[in-house]
Structure 1
Amino acid sequence: MSSLTFDAALSQQSASATVNFQHTSYFKSPSVAFPMAPLPPPEAVLSQYPKNPLGVVHFENLGVVVKPSDEHSQVTKAIRRAFPGNEVPVPELYGWKTYEGRNFIYMSQMPGMTLKEAWANLSLTEKQSVTAQIGHIVSALRDIPHPSCYPYIGSISHGRVQDLYFRGDPEASGPFQNVKEFNDHVQLLSVPESLRSDQIEDPYRHLLPDTGNICFTHADLHLDNIMVSSSHPRKITGILDWEQCGWYPEYWEYCKLHLNSPWSHEWRKEGFADSVTERHEAELDAIGEYWHWRRP
């Protein structure tokens, strides 16, 4: 495993109207006589938007997924470079197109089905195996060495924190210099004004430790964005949706694993989510309350 590095060249390429990564599998034709079709034009992507309100379009016949462009493209390239043995399976980036002020990234479609689709048909042994595989992936991500000379908390590009919790607060979402600064801002965004007075103490802030490791974190793991094989033995085939990833306090992945799924689902209720990474139950209590207050 190598370190996770931001690809500045990709940012420069993205300014072009069209970028095709010819070295990727999509453009490696099995036969010179039958070259691979060009990537679908943006017009074809936009025509699918009424059926895809999230802006994600699947071209099943080509094995291509198109998303509105963002730092996701940087992350997938960085992850594939950091884990050349596919220890952390992510989509392959095929290209980039710009059309009428909109940017689109073209990626490979991951094989299999979502873990949410597969869950009800898995045996207990398969559920345990898949959960253990997720744990190995999370552990591999947490072992990535921090790239900075100081332990900032923020995005892969040294920018603001991308987690949904911080959306709508672009002026003050980091990057943070340390865990305490991050925790203070988590509290600031959610605690009602009355609880910030001198008379009433916030009952949850003390549950967030102001020291600890800073780890590379997916920050949005749930059953809908974990792909598993359709055949046996069940294997993790892809981890999707890296928009919120970055460098976070070590407790953040555990909290998001739980908050992204309903308590009533077996994934949480029977303790599968608990076994993915080390437990941070006190922090979950605090973030759960803050999350409830934060959401409209």
Structure 2
Amino acid sequence: FIEVEHFTNQKLYNSRNISRAVVFKESTYFSENGPNSSLPSPAIVRATQKARHLSRSMTVRFEDLKLVVKYGREITIAEDLCLWAIRRFLPDQVPVPEVYGWCEDGGEFFIYMELTQGETLENKWKSLSKPERIDVCGQLRVMLSELRSLKQDPENQFLGHVNCQPLLDIMFTDETKPLAGPFSSVKEFHDWLSLTKRGLEMHWPDPSLIPDPFRDSLPDN
């Protein structure tokens, strides 16, 4: 791991060579467990993982350390950077786990973060009353509004993953789609979206020959 005492916003968003192994020594993990403590190695994380199954990601809890580790071959550094940024730009408005560090090992990416106790909304939703559900939706609405308030650098605007990477969400990626960005404008994104809805592009010599009757309905401003 590379130990990091201070990781600035400028470094986060301007660097294209962010280290693949970082630990935040100023995080609460080290203030609570001691400055000479260390994060569990990838080997320990894998050994602690009891259930082995095919999945986009796996999660291992270390209850005594108040730590959770998410890892897998489809986990990327972009997820780390998003959590890191939201916690610093919207610390009181949008609660996210504190990131303690990350690393890459054997083709798998590991995210070390704060273990938040409680029941997930997914598991709790069915037992909530209608007023409780309305209250939850109101809280989510406020959080989304706060996220939308974040602004990009006017000199470096794009549509894509943090750190100017292609979108990697499962809805934007499969074996038939071209890379989803990064896009320099809304028009570029709409052109890509239109392309993916015309059919299986891999079977057409020229995707532009496939008509899209709805492309003109997408506003590019």
TM-score in same-fold range (> 0.5): yes
1:45 alignment partner AA: V
| Distance in structure 2 (CA, Å) of the matches to 1:116 and 1:76 | 20
**Aligned partner (choices 195, 198, 219) of residue 209 of structure 1:** 219
For 2:69 and 2:152, locate their aligned partners in 1 and report how far apart those are by CA, in whole Å: 30
1:162-177 mapped onto 2 (5 Å cutoff): 162-168=168-174, 172-177=179-184
For normalisation by structure 2, the TM-score amounts to 0.74
2:196 corresponds in structure 1 to 189
Report if the CA contact (8 A) 2:159-2:182 is conserved. yes
- Residues 1:177 and 1:90: Cα distance change in structure 2 (over 3 Å): same
Task: Give the 3-state SS of the residue equivalent to 1:65 in structure 2.
Answer: strand
Q: Distance in 2 between matches of 1:112 and 1:67?
A: 17
Q: Secondary structure at the match of 1:185?
A: helix
Are the equivalent residues in 1 in contact too, given 2:90–2:146 (CA < 8 A)?
no
Unaligned runs of 5+ in 2: 1-8
Q: After superposition, give the CA deviation of every residue in 1:233-281 in whole Å (9 maximum; x if it has no partner).
A: xxxxxxxxxxxxxxxxxxxxxxxxxxxxxxxxxxxxxxxxxxxxxxxxx
1:158 match: secondary structure: coil
Where 2:151 maps in the other structure, the secondary structure is: coil
d(CA) in 1 for partners of 2:68 and 2:212? 45
Amino acid at match of 2:132: E
Q: Name the TM-score, length of structure 1 as normaliser.
A: 0.57
C-alpha deviation, 1:36, in angstroms? 8.7
Q: Give the corresponding residue for 1:27.
A: 30
Question: In the alignment, which residue of structure 2 is the partner of 1:42?
Answer: 42
1:81-133 CA-to-partner distances (Å, cap 9, x unmatched) read 1123x211111111224434543120112232221111112121111111011
Does 1 or 2 have the higher relative contact order (CA < 8 Å, sep 6+)?
1
Residues 173 and 179, structure 2, Cα contact 8 Å, conserved in 1: no
Q: Which residue of 2 aligns with 1:161?
A: 167
Q: What is the aligned residue count?
A: 200
Query: Which amino acid counterpart does residue 178 of structure 1 have in structure 2?
Result: S
Alignment of 1:4-23 (within 5 A): 7=12, 14-16=19-21, 19-23=22-26
CA distance in 2: counterparts of 1:181 and 1:10, whole angstroms: 24
2:38 aligned partner, one-letter code: P
| Amino acid across the alignment from 1:119 | W
CA distance in 2, matches of 1:50, 1:15: 25
1:56 aligns with 2:56: no
